[in-house]
Amino acid sequence: MVVAVLATLAMLALCLVGGGGLLYWGIFARPEPTSVQMAPMLTQTAETQSELLATHSPTPVPHTPTAPPPTSTALPAPSATPSLSPTPSPTPCAIAAAPRFDAAWRLYADQLGCALTQAHTQAAASQDFERGFLLWREDPDYVYVMHDDGRLGLYPLSVYPESVRLNPPGADPSIVPPAGLIQPVRGFGLVWRDNPEVRDGVGWAIENEARADWYYKFVVQDFAGGAILHECRMGVRVLLWDGMWFQVSSGEPCN
């Protein structure tokens, strides 16, 4: 059996050699492995390396110089917290405002300041004018001119000779008042005639002079910056030596 098989194989081999080589190749030849064509490897030259570096090198980031770290500044040593001194209380006045003048004084305390005298009565005289009021007080020998707009004028009679002050002149016959009006006389007449700002400011008198020692009591208290006055007709008034006066309470008919 084995001999027969071998003989058969031998005959086939002869046939292939003679003309059937293809059959033999197809049946018995062992196929060679298919060669896979590989991409040729690049040979890196200097030029290629430069191109690769140019293509794949990262884009350079511009260098921004950083500011040097701040140097520490030595802080001054904390100073001791000053102790707060209590606000001193205002020094009380040695002489207080009289009870009848206390309310008026509080209204103008900053301008009046402290009292220099106690409230007291003294001889005085007054006279009403078209646009104001004149007041004379015995001590000091002054005439106060109170304009209706709040201005105050101070006119000492001591500027006149004693003979004139003791025997003041009457009306000036060359000055004729309009009907129903009066030319002032005595001390008021001196101030009114000799000071145009008084005459033009208050105008003519509208009643005769009234003396306080005859008809009413005149009370005054002097302060560092002015005075507070009271008489029945004019009420309570505050006079400030900076040139203003204020009505605090209204007057009333004198008894």
Q: Structural domain of residue 191, as residue ranges?
A: 123-215
Q: Are residues 140 and 197 in the same domain?
A: yes
Helix (H) or strand (E) holding 94: none
Residue 34 has phi, psi (to 5 degrees) of: -70, 125
Q: For 170, what's the count of Cα atoms within 13 Å in the CB-facing half-sphere?
A: 2
Q: Are residues 180 and 157 in the same domain?
A: yes
Number of domains in the chain: 2
Per-residue model confidence (pLDDT) at position 91: 79
Does residue 75 sit within a domain? no
Per-residue model confidence (pLDDT) at position 233: 80
Average pLDDT over residues 45-64: 52
Statement: residue 15 has pLDDT above 90: no
Per-residue model confidence (pLDDT) at position 252: 79
Q: Are residues 175 and 201 in the same domain?
A: yes
Does residue 154 sit within a domain? yes
Task: Give the position of tokens 């220099």.
Answer: 116
Does residue 225 sit within a domain? yes
pLDDT tens, 94-116? 999 999 999 999 999 999 999 99
Does residue 2 sit within a domain? no
Which of 115 and 122 is assigned the larger pLDDT? 115
Does residue 114 sit within a domain? yes
pTM: 0.64
pLDDT above 90 covers a percentage of the chain that reads: 53
Statement: residue 77 has pLDDT above 90: no
pLDDT tens, 155-211? 999 999 999 988 988 999 999 999 999 999 999 999 999 999 999 999 999 999 988
Per-residue model confidence (pLDDT) at position 181: 98
C-alpha 205: how far from chain center: 49
